[in-house]
Amino acid sequence: MLRLFRFGWQHQQNTDTQLASGIVKVVGDSVGINFTPDPSWGYSLFVSKGNLKVYNEDIFSQIFAESTNGIAILGAKGAGNGYQYSALDLVSGNGKKWSLWHRQDSEHYFSITQFDGTNWYNRLWIDPNGYFGFNTMPDSSYHYNFYGRVKFSHDSWWSALFESTTSILEATFQGKNSTYGSVSLNLKDSESGYYWSLQHREDYSFRIQQYNGSSWIKRFVIDFDGNIIFNSQSSGGYKFYANCTGGQVLFQRDDSDYFYFIIRSTVSTSELVVRGAEASVLYLDSHPNKIGWQLRHRNDSNHYLDFMYYDGSNYISRLKISPEGNVGIGIEPLSYAQLSILNSLYVINYSGSGSLNVEGVGDGYNYSYINLRGAGKYWNISHRANPTNYFELMYYNGSTFLPRLLLSPEGYLTLYRDSNVLSMQVDSTRAYFEGELRIKIYSQTTEPTLTADESIAIWKNTGDSNRIYLVFRRGSGDQVKVELT
């Protein structure tokens, strides 16, 4: 029997098969609407040539499928209308809806589609191979294809793992170039609003920028030519450029091995440039007490290059080089000397003779010379150019050079004492003197006693009419004299 209630028909089964004429037909446990059911198909309700609508004026309506001893299936099947084979619509009272579609126009794709009352928007696609598209079609090159912004959020610790156990794992972020570049990956602190941004910029450079809450700060750039830049936008023509305003650059190795910093060019010149507005400094010291050496370009000292030693409390200048090439060791470079040394110079050769050479091409006076200075006066030892190749010893008294000794290449010796000159030539047996030879004269009343054997002296006896004697000592207590008349 069929009974009509407020919202439809109720069939009370009294026999195995009953048929109601018109809209509803019942065969066994199967009910057909505009359709004669076949219980062998396994369905309890058949609807043909129409739609099935569940309506309730109360809070909600529902369709519920249940099986107490098997699978409960709620299915939809269609031959297709050019867009989808079948669909499940979730509709609101204002006509807006979400729809789950088995697509016909896209080769059996599954899609979740939104209707805002005017237009349809495809929000999720899944192709038969399991590739996903969010707000866009799936891409067979990627399992997940997103269009728009993606956000992953959690109220506590959250982590994401991307893993490939058989091959290379590749993540690609692709965008269209615009005023601010094509791709950005932002690492943001949700509380302060500060974040770091990894960017593919409009000039095709890679950039790491910091946002401090009010402005962007460029921290690291690799430009399209491969130049590496820190804290600046432009490389200034350098492959590696670091703008360290208010900071320093540190290269550190924390294990027990050495640290190597190598600058090498296999085809041309290699250059290391240290440049500062006031001074440039290269440190060679020990960690952590910083005892060691400092190579400094001094702008406060006529652009000297200064090698300084740090003993833990003070910097001590050890060697300076002036722009003219003059060198001072332990002392300021002297303008008139290419090498100035404080205290002493020691030359040693552990495998042969030690030597100190002074050489010159000559200036019309000397080929080379050495000055032995002190208290504003000095002795000058020179290899003379005029006269040629003579050896000369001169004394400078603070205002005038005074010759004291001149030795020729042939062995002639000339001695000077103010205006007096003594020239002497020596051969194998004799010595010849040119000019006056003065011998010490004892002017006294008694014969002088000579203290050295084989010595000679002149005695003027002032007690006997100034007679002149030549006194010769042959040995101890053996002294003779000869009167010169």
The yes-or-no verdict on residue 17 having pLDDT over 50 is no
Distance CA 285, CA 118 (A): 75
State yes or no: pLDDT of 18 exceeds 60.
no
User: Token pair of 133, please?
Assistant: 């598209």
The per-residue pLDDT for 185 is 87
Residues 210-234: tens digit of each pLDDT: 999 898 888 888 888 888 888 876 7
pLDDT of 323 > 70? The answer is: yes
SS (HEC) of 255-303: CCCCCCCCCCCCCCCCCCCCCCCCEEEEEEECCCCCCEEEEEEECCCCC
Average per-residue pLDDT for the chain: 81
| Residue from 430, 431, 469 nearest 450 by CA | 469
Share of the chain above pLDDT 70, in %: 81
Residue 259 has pLDDT above 90, yes or no: no
- Give me the count of residues in the chain: 485
Q: List, in sequence order, every residue forming a beta bridge with 132; answer none if it has no partner.
A: 126, 144
Q: What is the pLDDT of residue 326?
A: 94
Q: 304 — phi, psi (to 5°)?
A: -70, 150
| Nearest partner of 426 among 440, 414, 417, judged by Cα | 414
The yes-or-no verdict on residue 101 having pLDDT over 80 is: yes
In angstroms, the CA 127 to CA 145 distance is 12
**Alpha-carbon distance values, 13 to 97, 357, 410, 459, 479 (Å):** 38, 134, 155, 178, 177
Identify the weakest region by mean pLDDT among 105-109, 222-226, 380-384, 424-428.
Answer: 424-428
CA angle 29, 30, 31 (to 5 degrees): 125
The reported pLDDT for the residue numbered 257 is 67
pLDDT digits (tens, 9 = 90+) for 26-40: 777 777 777 777 777
Summarize pLDDT for 331-379 with one digit per residue, the tens. 989 888 889 999 988 989 999 999 989 999 999 899 999 999 899 999 9
Give the per-residue pLDDT at 96.
92
What's the CA dihedral at 151, 152, 156, 160 to 10 degrees?
-140
How far apart CA 192 and CA 214 sit, in angstroms, is 11
Which pLDDT value is given to residue 467?
Answer: 93
**Average confidence (pLDDT) over 246-254:** 68
Confidence of residue 435 (pLDDT cuts 50, 70, 90): low
β-pair partners for 6: none
User: Poorest-confidence range of 181-195, 365-379, 391-405, 413-427?
Assistant: 413-427
Residue 186's pLDDT is: 87
Tens-place pLDDT, residues 436-458: 666 778 999 999 998 888 888 89
Confidence band of 5 (pLDDT split at 50, 70, 90): very low
CA distances from 57 to 6, 7, 61, 63 (A): 12, 11, 8, 15
Per-residue pLDDT, 52: 67
CA distance 55 to 51: 13
CA distances from 393 to 116, 363, 379, 386 (A): 114, 18, 7, 14
Please spell the DSSP secondary structure of 216-232, one letter per residue.
EEEEEEE-TT--EEESS
pLDDT, position 61: 65
The helix (run of H) or strand (run of E) holding residue 121 is strand 120-126
| pLDDT number for residue 2 | 43
Domain residues of the chain, as ranges?
Answer: 1-75, 82-150, 183-242, 357-438, 439-484
Asked whether 416 and 400 are in contact (CB, 8 A), the reply is: no
CA 119/CA 134 separation, integer angstroms: 18
What Rg do the C-alpha atoms of the chain give, in angstroms?
57
At which residue do the structure tokens 């207590």 appear? Answer: 477
Q: pLDDT higher for 156 or 168?
A: 168
Residue of 276 and 137 predicted with greater confidence: 137
Residue 411, φ and ψ in degrees, nearest 5: 105, 5
**Where residue 388 falls among pLDDT bands split at 50, 70, 90?**
very high
What pLDDT band is residue 49 in, cutting at 50, 70 and 90? Answer: low
Return the higher-pLDDT residue of 59 and 268.
268
Structure tokens at 141: 């090159």
pLDDT score of 320: 93
Percent of the chain with pLDDT over 90: 28
Which pLDDT score, from 0 to 100, does residue 433 have?
Answer: 67
Given 3-state DSSP classes, what are the helix, strand and coil percentages for the chain, each rounded to the nearest 5?
0, 40, 60
> How high is the pLDDT of residue 431?
67
- Taking a C-beta distance cutoff of 8 angstroms, is the pair 406, 392 a contact? yes
What is the model's pLDDT at position 245? 66
User: What pLDDT sits at residue 395?
Assistant: 94
Higher pLDDT, 91 or 116: 116
